[in-house]
């Protein structure tokens, strides 16, 4: 392909159409079902799916079929099917993947920004969901159009855009089973819902951690009682919960104690992590919004010690976030607000737990290990339960075919003037493991625009527009190599 023409096409499409589409998309609070139990009644997911469908139908792509696929009681999926060109035949295909549902609002947006308030500033589109992952369907069809604009032979391209990924993709297995006969012999999966280590090169995701989430409930009383009367006799439910969580991870280091949640890091992944650490250096941990303005360890300013990362070694930091399990407490209940907190010993404490697990660890096995550790022999004979609400096994990419390795590196050099980077991601995309089982011979290009400080799921989330333009170019170059 003529890269100068490809670059012009991508830039014109983004500036003239895609950014405007994503501005409209940001305005819609299309929260995933896990965060909006009345999603069907509210109609926001339906709205973004219909908008994307209408845009797809308006694109001048010969022979394309677009439909919203539905299964009763489940979130909708957008599916497109585009025949091959240049005589390549339709049996073999490239599968594009993305999603249109969003994370909830989250607090902490800086003044002038908000989750449903699109703002373009310094080449970035701020707002919830444009980078995670509203851009995917629009970029995917732009890739197809860019290849066709140069009359380069292209494989058949199909796309599956779901609307429950942020809830763990509970509806996806049913849709995959329904659509599998229509997907063809998938040669390449182009998943556009991942991250990038920097904005200077194409980044290829080599693995994804799994996830087990659930609710820990600790009860010691039937009702709250006067803390002066009971404390010292009745243990605090919070203290009991602290003891239980210490069974899961070490409170000082955060190292997860349960061996069932760990896995050996493959030699290839370790070598890739070392290379990524050499590229990224301290930016691996400096990218996060640490307390204070220094963003550095052991920095004294005004006599105060700023927050420190768990490790400042780039390699260890990468391995921590890609191949090692980690526990987060993401929510709590049973606690009154500060203004209404009396001197009462609370009867119960409830916590939402999110456990990232190694990519090759079975989620069901991990779930049972966590439940046993929390519920067995509780302190003070308290009533303890762990109710798992979601488990997703992670994913480790198959060995990269030589043609794909060459195509990825060439695309990165042409679009970014830098070789491709390879690194695991700490998040979870359940669809990748499902696809790996369904299409064991498929190759994977899992990539995305979630780079430093883009803050997916958090406040001030943004899409780096220039990086998205160049990523579109790079994916087009790779897809054009599929035969």
Is the per-residue pLDDT at 396 higher than 70? yes
291 within a domain of the structure (yes/no): no
Domain limits at 444?
Answer: 3-208+395-479
Q: Does residue 273 belong to any structural domain of this protein?
A: no
What are the tokens at 20? 């405007």
List alpha helices for 2-91, DSSP H. 3-13, 19-26, 39-42, 44-58
Burial class (CB in 10 A: 0-12, 13-18, 19+), 385: middle
251 band by pLDDT with thresholds 50, 70 and 90: very high
Identify the three-state secondary structure at position 39.
helix
pLDDT > 70? residue 414: yes
**Is 271 inside any structural domain?**
no
pLDDT digits (tens, 9 = 90+) for 175-229: 999 999 999 999 999 999 999 999 999 999 999 999 999 999 999 999 999 999 9
User: Number of folded domains in the chain?
Assistant: 2
Q: 197 and 63 in one domain? A: yes
Q: What is the DSSP letter of 117?
A: B
Gap between the Cα atoms of 166 and 34, Å rounded: 8
- Is 14:472 a contact under the CB 8 Å cutoff? yes
Among 366, 392, 418, the domain-final residue is 392
Instruction: Kindly state whether residues 388 and 399 are assigned to the same domain.
Output: no
Q: Is 267 exposed, middle or buried (0-12, 13-18, 19+ CB in 10 A)?
A: exposed
Q: Does some domain include residue 293?
A: no
Count of C-beta atoms within a 10 Å radius of residue 282: 16
Q: Which of 392, 416, 448 is the last residue of a domain?
A: 392
Residues 466 and 438 in one domain: yes
Residues 78 and 150 grouped into a single domain: yes
Whether 380 maps to a domain, the answer reads yes
Same structural domain for residues 358 and 375? Answer: yes
Do 14 and 132 belong together in one domain?
Answer: yes
pLDDT of residue 308: 74
Residue 66 CA, chain-centre distance (Å), reads: 25
State whether residue 332 is helix, strand or coil: strand
**What percent helix, strand, coil does the chain show, rounded to 5?**
40, 25, 40
Domain check: are 387 and 409 in the same one? Answer: no
Cβ atoms within 10 Å of 309's Cβ, excluding its own: 18
189 within some domain: yes
Same structural domain, 86 and 13: yes
Q: Tell whether 96 and 241 lie within a shared domain.
A: no
Q: With pLDDT > 70 as the criterion, what percentage of the chain qualifies?
A: 97
pLDDT given at position 435: 85
What's the pLDDT score for residue 294? 52
Residue 84 lies in a domain: yes
CATH of the domain at 50: 3.40.630.10
Measure the CA–CA gap between 162 and 176, rounded to whole angstroms: 10
**Arithmetic mean of pLDDT over the chain:** 95
Residues 318 and 348 in one domain: yes
Q: Is the pLDDT of residue 426 over 50?
A: yes
pLDDT of residue 273: 97
Average pLDDT for residues 42-61, to the nearest whole number?
Answer: 98
Residue with tokens 């190292």: 255
**Could you tell me the pTM of the whole model?**
0.90
Which CATH number fits the domain that encloses residue 253?
A: 3.30.70.360
Domain limit, last residue, from 392, 418, 442? 392
> In this predicted structure, what is the pLDDT of residue 293?
53
Asked whether residue 460 falls in the same domain as residue 350, the answer is no
Q: Which of 304-318, 334-348, 388-402 bottoms out in mean pLDDT, i.e. has the lowest?
A: 304-318
How many other C-beta atoms lie within 10 A of the C-beta of residue 158? 22
Residues 146 and 241 in one domain: no
Give bridge partners of residue 402 from the DSSP assignment. none
For 346-378, the pLDDT digits (tens) are 999 999 999 999 999 999 999 999 999 999 999
pLDDT tens per residue across span 136-177 = 999 999 999 999 999 999 999 999 999 999 998 999 999 999
**285 is a domain residue:** no
Q: What is the pLDDT of residue 306?
A: 57
């Amino acid at each position: 392909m003529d890269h100068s023409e490809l670059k012009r096409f991508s830039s014109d499409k983004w500036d003239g159409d895609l950014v405007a589409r994503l501005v409209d998309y940001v305005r819609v609070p299309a929260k995933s079902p896990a965060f909006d139990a009345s999603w069907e009644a509210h109609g926001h997911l339906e709205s973004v799916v219909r908008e994307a469908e209408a845009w797809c139908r308006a694109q001048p792509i010969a022979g394309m079929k677009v439909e919203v696929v539905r299964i009763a009681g489940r979130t909708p999926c957008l599916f497109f099917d585009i025949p091959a060109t240049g005589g390549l035949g339709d049996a073999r295909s490239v599968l594009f993947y993305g999603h249109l549902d969003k994370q909830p609002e989250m607090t902490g947006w800086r003044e002038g920004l908000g989750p449903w308030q699109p703002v373009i500033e310094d080449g970035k589109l701020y707002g919830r969901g444009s980078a995670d992952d509203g851009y995917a369907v629009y970029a995917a069809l732009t890739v197809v159009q860019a290849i066709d604009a140069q009359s380069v032979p292209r494989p058949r391209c199909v796309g599956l855009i779901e609307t429950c990924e942020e809830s763990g993709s509970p509806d996806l297995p049913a849709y995959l089973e329904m659509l599998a006969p229509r997907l063809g012999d998938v040669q390449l999966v182009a998943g556009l819902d991942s991250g990038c280590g920097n904005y200077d090169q194409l980044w290829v995701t080599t693995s994804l951690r799994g996830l087990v989430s659930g609710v820990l409930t600790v009860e010691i009383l039937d009702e709250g009682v006067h803390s002066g009367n009971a404390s010292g006799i009745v243990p605090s439910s919070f203290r009991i919960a602290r003891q239980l969580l210490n069974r899961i991870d070490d409170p000082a280091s955060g190292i997860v104690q349960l061996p069932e949640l760990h896995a050996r890091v493959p030699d290839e992944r370790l070598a890739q992590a070392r290379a990524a650490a050499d590229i990224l250096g301290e930016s691996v941990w400096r990218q996060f919004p640490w307390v204070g303005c220094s963003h550095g360890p052991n920095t004294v300013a005004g006599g105060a010690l700023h927050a420190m990362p768990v490790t400042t070694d780039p390699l260890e930091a990468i391995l921590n976030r890609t191949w090692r399990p980690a526990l987060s407490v993401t929510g709590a209940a049973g606690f009154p607000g500060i203004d209404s907190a009396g001197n009462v010993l609370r009867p119960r404490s409830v916590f939402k737990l999110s456990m990232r697990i190694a990519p090759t660890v079975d989620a069901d096995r991990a779930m049972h290990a966590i439940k046993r550790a929390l519920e067995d022999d509780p302190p003070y004979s308290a009533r303890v339960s762990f109710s798992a609400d979601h488990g997703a096994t992670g994913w480790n990419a198959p060995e990269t075919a030589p043609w794909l390795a060459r195509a990825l590196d060439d695309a990165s050099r042409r679009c970014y003037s830098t070789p491709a980077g390879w690194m695991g991601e700490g998040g979870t995309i359940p669809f990748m493991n499902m696809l790996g089982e369904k299409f064991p011979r498929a190759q994977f290009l899992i990539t995305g625009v979630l780079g430093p400080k883009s803050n997916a799921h958090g406040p001030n989330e943004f899409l780096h527009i220039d990086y998205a333009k160049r990523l579109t170019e790079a994916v087009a170059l790779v897809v054009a190599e599929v035969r």
